[in-house]
Copies of this chain bind each other. A is one copy, B any other.
Amino acid sequence: MRLSQSFIKTLRSAPKDETARGAQYLSRAGYIYKELAGVYDYLPLGLRVLDNIKTIVREELNNIGAEECLMSTLQNPEPWIKTDRWDIEKMDIWFRTQLAAGGELGLGPTHEEPFTEMLRNYVSSYKDLPFAVYQIQTKFRNELRAKSGIMRGREFLMKDMYSFCATTEDHDKFYHEAEKAYMRIYDRLGIGNDTYETFASGGVFSKYSHEFQTICEVGEDNIYYNKDKSVVLNEEVLIDEVMNDLGVKRDELEMTKAAEVGNIFTLGTKFSAPLGLEFTDQAGERKPVLMGCYGIGISRVMGVIAEKMCDDKGLVWPENIAPYKYYLIGIGDEGMKKAEELYHGREEEILFDDRDLRPGEKFTDAELMGIPYRVVVSDKTLADGKAEVTDRKTGETKLVALTEIF
């Protein structure tokens, strides 16, 4: 992208109620625009980050055989009434709306019910199982308070996956595949080293669920970990019974702030039974399907990474999700000419700052935007056939031969 052709420019200030540092940078650097608390627009750079995250998530889920769908936002109350989740007392984050033709609808805060209901058309025998479906779709949750920028939104992009199995063995097998896929996703997103699978409270059908928590100063959760025993617990399960289960003592656990970046949950027949998603097993008996659900907040992860990976100059994107890999600047006549040449054919990986600005302003913007490598071509560096390449993360600058940069 040529910055001279983009409407984006960096701003001096962020919305004044934006307290988290990453969220301030995302606003100032032209990644997001705040519509209202918990509701954001994604500008070209921000959309590219979201898309990069989506691609990684999609690839890893396709790899474990899950199929992608796209479910509607508008929700018919019926299936939610059957599972007892329509009532505001039971689920207090519903946004509701009225059909002009009559009748109340909800805006989907999650999608167990519509997937379960839809799949009644597609499941009849054990031969139709197991399988998993997912979607990357906008969710709506009527939070009383929304804060921390895109980390906790009222409208946000989520990947939600659901598995459907005939037997506990098949369910456990897929659940484990999903756990591994999640860790591969966090690795590729650049937060693998700081992301832990934690024990969290379960439900009727399983003692525990699991969360994926990324160590992060502005995270909303406290997690308790023991590195030697590879045990990590959420605060809600920090009780004797659970610690006994996992073979750790309270004083062996260290606390740290963390942000949830995913969760997986064994649902059993919680949704399939009331909604009648059944199959005929090998003995000819009708049984409800065993389900699991697996979430990753796509826009939330972007928010967590922005908070976690920034310094006093701005954002510091991991290479895999950065909107562009290189921030290119040409200085002087020859430098500008060579920069044009280098940009040509590399439009997808280079953010080319061809604006009529002083180099210092461009350097500041490159840092605020957090592009991994700044490449400066000047008349001076060109004398040796080189460019100055600066690593955003380390700040280290090297002279590199033009033929070896890209």
Contact = CB atoms under 8 A, between A and B. Distances in A.
A324 interface: no
Nearest to A2: B65
Nearest to A299: B70
A204 to B, nearest CB: 25
A70 B98 contact: no
Contact of A47 (B70, B107, B128): B70
Given A96-B98, A100-B144, A107-B97, A122 B72 contact: no
Contact of A9 (B39, B67, B122, B142): B122
Interface string A60-72: 0000010111111
Interface stretch (A18-26, A113-121, A212-220, A250-258): A113-121
27 contacts: A7-B67, A7-B128, A7-B133, A7-B164, A35-B71, A35-B76, A36-B74, A36-B76, A39-B72, A40-B72, A41-B72, A41-B114, A44-B69, A47-B69, A50-B70, A72-B155, A93-B100, A95-B97, A95-B98, A96-B97, A96-B98, A100-B142, A100-B143, A100-B144, A101-B145, A107-B107, A138-B138
A73 B155 contact: yes
A33 interface: yes
Contacts of A97: 95-97, 107
A224 interface: no
A7 B70 contact: no
Interface residues of A, number: 61
A401 interface: no
Interface in A239-281: none
B50 A131 contact: no
Interface string A201-240: 0000000000000000000000000000000000000000
A121 B107 CA distance: 30
Contacts of A93: 100
Contact of A122 (B8, B47, B138): B8
A68 B47 CA distance: 8
Given A97-B107, A131-B6, A44 B73 contact: no
A154 B102 CA distance: 13
A300 to B, nearest CB: 15
A299 to B, nearest CB: 10
Contacts of A164: 7
Contact of A33 (B43, B73, B121, B131): B121
Contacts of A76: 35-36
Contact of A11 (B47, B121, B131, B143): B121
A373 interface: no
A317 interface: no
Interface in A106-148: 107, 114, 118-119, 121-123, 128, 131, 133, 138, 140, 142-145
